[in-house]
Amino acid sequence: MHKMTIDDVDFKGKRVLLRVDYNVPMEQGEITDDTRIRATLPTIKKLLNDGASLVIISHLGRPSGKVMKELSLRPVAKRLAELLEKNVEFLQNCVGKDITKRTKSLKPGEIVMLENLRFHPGEKANDENFSAQLAKHGDIYVNDAFAVCHRAHASVVGIPKILSPACAGYLIEKEIKYLGILLEDPPQPFIAIIGGAKVSTKIGVLENLLPRVDKLLIGGGMSFTFFSSLGLEIGKSLVEKEALTTAMKIWVKSEEKGGKMMLPVDVLVAESLDEDSPVKTVEYDRIPKNLMGVDIGQSTIQLYQGTILEAKTVFLNGPMGVFEVEKFSEGTKTILESMAELAQGGDIAVVGGGDSAAAVHKFNLADEMTHVSTGGGASLEFMEGKELPGIAALSDA
């Protein structure tokens, strides 16, 4: 990575304005998954050990520029304090004279967390004045929020124009390292597994990976758009009619490259997405009109498993089925288990963010992977080959 990281800077006696992604799932004011908080601990501990004071900023949810009590970061500050076993002072705004007065008085080792950035419209609008107010809180800017690096928001691209140096934390450095390997120099054979509901959200990834991979395995709801584009009956399965032409073009490109793309050979079908809905497995071209595909079938699982276990590098983005329902989760779970086996043997297994990350945590396999990305949209755009604004904004090494 040709950007400055926290290993390139002397933080002793400095106030660090640290952008993190603490957009954690909450239910009735309680955090249900603190993975994103834990992911930033190595960076936080490094900065504290180097003698810095910390002003932590983040967003939570989509309050659309309005104060919403249920989206306050107060519970997040409490959880961070528990994980660090250290006081984290919570301030009830992220800008204002009183807030700036407190952040300017910080002593080395002290930590404050500011209130939700998105309570202010200036955050998403990348307002220069809002960026300038935020920049007053620190001497040095550190971004460790990979999941928002594809957003040109004030806290992501506005602050680095004012504060210098602007450097990457360990989480961003790790993301770029492992996602970068996939695009630049993956050990061969390189297998990509792309699932999820829609082809339309993965077009860029599919097109960018097709020339790079040895095999491209397709699963999830998007497989039915590919089947439909080939003229097959898909019953009540999910289909993106507006993406049929694109799906056909990608399939033709795959055939021109020697048939790299693999579609399911059989499908688990059900009447509905209910847990008690009866299921059966049918061949890919025998889907009944009154049923819908909910997972890849046993033959596909075995076929995909064999392909994965022969690989040296595997990247997965998107589940193989409706993994949230136990009955429809076997395909996703088994594929992830195969990737974990690969990683434990010393090869590379990387899981993309979003639903993929949710699945790998659901099945308690995250710690067995080489890397699980914390970015949904950010990891997708990175894998499309796009430059992320939040990375571009950091100081060059």
Q: Is residue 180 part of a domain?
A: no
Residue 303 is predicted with a pLDDT of 98
> Do 237 and 346 sit in the same domain of this protein?
yes
Residue 270 is predicted with a pLDDT of 97
> Do 139 and 196 sit in the same domain of this protein?
no
* Segment 199-208 mean pLDDT: 92
Query: Residue 287 — very low, low, confident or very high, per pLDDT cuts 50/70/90?
Result: very high
Q: Is residue 265 over pLDDT 80? A: yes
> Do 221 and 131 sit in the same domain of this protein?
no
**pLDDT for 217-246, tens place per residue?**
999 999 999 999 999 999 999 999 999 999
Give the whole-angstrom CA distance, residue 94 versus residue 230. 53
Give the whole-angstrom CA distance, residue 379 versus residue 121. 25
The catalytic residues are 36, 198, 354, 377
Residue 376 is predicted with a pLDDT of 85
> Do 206 and 145 sit in the same domain of this protein?
no
Q: Is residue 1 part of a domain?
A: no
> Do 206 and 83 sit in the same domain of this protein?
no
> Do 250 and 335 sit in the same domain of this protein?
yes
> Do 264 and 371 sit in the same domain of this protein?
yes
Q: Is residue 354 over pLDDT 90? A: no
Residue 301 is predicted with a pLDDT of 98
Q: Is residue 394 part of a domain?
A: no
Residue 1 is predicted with a pLDDT of 61
173, 206, 230 - which closes a domain: 173
**pLDDT for 300-313, tens place per residue?**
999 999 999 999 99
> Do 275 and 234 sit in the same domain of this protein?
yes
Q: Is residue 392 part of a domain?
A: no
Give the whole-angstrom CA distance, residue 194 versus residue 112. 40
Percent of the chain scoring above 70 in pLDDT: 100
Mean of the per-residue pLDDT values of the chain: 96
Show the domain range for 19.
Answer: 6-173
> Do 52 and 92 sit in the same domain of this protein?
yes
Residue 262 is predicted with a pLDDT of 97
114, 142, 173 - which closes a domain: 173
Q: Is residue 343 part of a domain?
A: yes
Residue 369 is predicted with a pLDDT of 97
> Do 136 and 284 sit in the same domain of this protein?
no
Q: Is residue 81 part of a domain?
A: yes
> Do 103 and 163 sit in the same domain of this protein?
yes
> CA 3, 109, 47: angle at the middle one, nearest 5?
20
Residue 336 is predicted with a pLDDT of 98
**pLDDT for 374-384, tens place per residue?**
888 899 999 99
Q: Is residue 391 part of a domain?
A: no
Token digits of residue 317:
């983005």
**pLDDT for 114-168, tens place per residue?**
999 999 999 999 999 999 999 999 999 999 999 999 999 999 999 999 999 999 9
Give the whole-angstrom CA distance, residue 336 versus residue 328. 14
Contact 354, 389 (CB under 8 A): no
CATH of the domain at 195: 3.40.50.1260
Q: How many domains does the chain have?
A: 2
Residue 2 is predicted with a pLDDT of 86
Reduce the DSSP state of residue 61 to 3 states and report it: coil
118, 145, 173 - which closes a domain: 173
Query: Residue 33 — very low, low, confident or very high, per pLDDT cuts 50/70/90?
Result: confident
Residue 29 is predicted with a pLDDT of 86
Query: Residue 389 — very low, low, confident or very high, per pLDDT cuts 50/70/90?
Result: very high
Answer whether the bond into residue 160 is a cis peptide, omega within 30°: no
> Do 232 and 365 sit in the same domain of this protein?
yes
HSE of 184, CA atoms in CB hemisphere, 13 A? 8
Q: Is residue 28 over pLDDT 90? A: no
Q: Is residue 395 part of a domain?
A: no
